[in-house]
Structure 1
Amino acid sequence: MTETIAWNLACRCGNGVGKAPGRTADAAIPNQPPSGWTGSLGPGVRWEQWPRSLNTGLPMMHVLTIWLPGDFQRRGLRAEGEHADESEGTNAWDIVEPTIDIWLIPRVDPNAGKAPVELWGDEVGPGGYVNPSTGGRSLAGWAEPLFALSHLGGTAFPVQAMPEGLTPWYLELEEISGLNFGGGGNAQIDLESDAFDWACG
């Protein structure tokens, strides 16, 4: 069995990469081609095929398109009418964001390949999931460099409670490319179970 890897999303910031567009670069641009992009430029579908808001009928806003590593390719395209958009109308016509390259960067994360669970104190979860907190509001030393980064898999940092139903194959997004989770919030989207949750900061 091969080892599962978790990934940070690193966005182009000038001549380097950082944790979100418009931020200060904290590393050099990787040597490999980008793994996707964020911004208004969509996933390369004709305008007639663009997903529409059920509330407004307008094209939904594009947040990111990303190539998923094999382990994270868990599900295919959705059946018509299977999911309903309950947004307040954010859409691709009214929200215009620049196109920014995204790279997937391996992250050293003891929880890679493990389903995130809510833990207290020194508890260890099923499958060996390790609590990133020291028991209070502070993070363990190993967890500090992983905090507040958009990433695939590994340690989850939900702003409020841990969402139910997360598998090891989830995407955690911080506020990038027009996303607004109430200031300092984030979202978890599971690529296998369809679990989805977000919370404001």
Structure 2
Amino acid sequence: MNSLTQAFDLELTDKDHGQGWAFGRPVGITTDQWPRSRIHGLPMAHLWTILVPEAYRVKGKDLVAISFFQAEDAFEDRVDGVEDMLTNSTEMNNIDANEFWASLSCYVNHRHPQETYLEDIIGGSWALIWLTKDEFEGKSTPLPNKENSIHPDYEVDEWGSTCFAKDAPAQFIQHVVRTDDPNVGKVLDEWPNEDDVNAYIPMFSEKGEALKLNRFHAKNHFGGTANPIQGMPEFSPFYIKFEEEFGDANMGGGNGQIDLLNDQFDWACG
């Protein structure tokens, strides 16, 4: 695996989408592969798709970008049978006669091979998909059929995290090399050994304040000094941290981190 020598900030830009975009639509997946909520079965909101710097491509050299999706399952009404179908590939009776269950079954049987489902501590659903270069450079994925994607008895929240509510124009992203970050390549640690000169340096520790690490406050970025709203997760150095501005993610005014190496996700509200 590559050793890390550089962190990268992620900034919204008016330039083209060569290094990714927030909002917009995913690429590299078919409409049938659009990740679904485990609670009601609707397609998740696409938050962002970002090219991963080479040193952070921990799932293999051919997987060069990531797409991230959200469903606010902790606050939504449940449709009986959806979770069982999605987690256990259980088929419903008379599935061919019901367009909703047929579309859900199609997703179950054609999931993107690089999709990873993540669930947070309050029951929210998230999905991460690694993409190849060809997939990342492909065409935008058409939205799923709205009529087929909603159970007939389910009342959709127009403000929820679904692909229909969050379908907005793309805002493009660029990598910006971060300079003089002493935490590149270090495992995140909220309470490091102060006697270890190679230990992670928390932003608001005495040493962190002396190094003025607060210059990295509220940044979207790959690696380096983290700034979680609440507790520091014990993540590998191969992580991405993002604010709500990336795709209007609902994190209660907070921010999120994904450990790309270990498929772990953490967020905290403000």
TM-score (norm 1): 0.76
Q: Which residue of 1 aligns with 2:239?
A: 170
Larger radius of gyration: 2
> CA-atom RMSD, angstroms?
3.1
What is the distance in 1 between the residues matched to 2:115 and 2:10? 30
Q: Deviations over 1:119-151 (max 9, x none)?
A: 37x93668432232144xx94453122110011
Give 1:6's aligned amino acid.
A
Q: Which residue of 1 aligns with 2:9?
A: 8
> In the alignment, does 2:222 pair up with 1:152?
yes
What is the distance in 2 between the residues matched to 1:158 and 1:4? 22
CA shift for structure 1 position 81: 9.2
- After superposition, residues 1-201 of structure 1 pair within 5 angstroms as 4-12=5-13, 34-75=18-59, 83=117, 86-87=123-124, 90-108=161-179, 109-119=181-191, 123=194, 127-135=198-206, 139-164=209-234, 166-176=235-245, 177-183=247-253, 185-201=254-270
Structure with the larger helix share? 2
What is the distance in 2 between the residues matched to 1:45 and 1:170? 23
Give 1:111's aligned amino acid.
N
What is the distance in 2 between the residues matched to 1:101 and 1:80? 23
Q: Which moved more, 1:109-118 or 1:35-44?
A: 35-44
Shift in CA distance, 163/2, structure 1 to aligned 2, threshold 3 Å: closer
Give 1:113's aligned amino acid.
G
Shift in CA distance, 114/56, structure 1 to aligned 2, threshold 3 Å: same
Task: State the secondary structure of the residue aligned to 2:215.
Answer: helix
Shift in CA distance, 124/152, structure 1 to aligned 2, threshold 3 Å: farther
What is the distance in 2 between the residues matched to 1:79 and 1:168? 25
What is the distance in 1 between the residues matched to 2:187 and 2:164? 37
Which of 1 and 2 has higher RCO (CA within 8 Å, sep 6+)? 2
Q: Contact 1:132/1:140 (CA < 8 Å) preserved in 2?
A: no
Shift in CA distance, 38/80, structure 1 to aligned 2, threshold 3 Å: closer
What is the distance in 1 between the residues matched to 2:115 and 2:185? 32
Q: Which residue of 2 aligns with 1:23?
A: none
TM-score (norm 2): 0.58
Q: Contact 1:163/1:196 (CA < 8 Å) preserved in 2?
A: no
Give 1:148's aligned amino acid.
A
CA shift for structure 1 position 174: 0.9
CA shift for structure 1 position 80: 8.8
For these two proteins, the number of residue pairs brought into alignment is 180
What is the distance in 1 between the residues matched to 2:48 and 2:256? 14
CA shift for structure 1 position 82: 6.6
Shift in CA distance, 75/81, structure 1 to aligned 2, threshold 3 Å: closer
What is the distance in 1 between the residues matched to 2:47 and 2:199? 33
Q: Contact 1:117/1:125 (CA < 8 Å) preserved in 2?
A: no
What is the distance in 2 between the residues matched to 1:8 and 1:115? 18
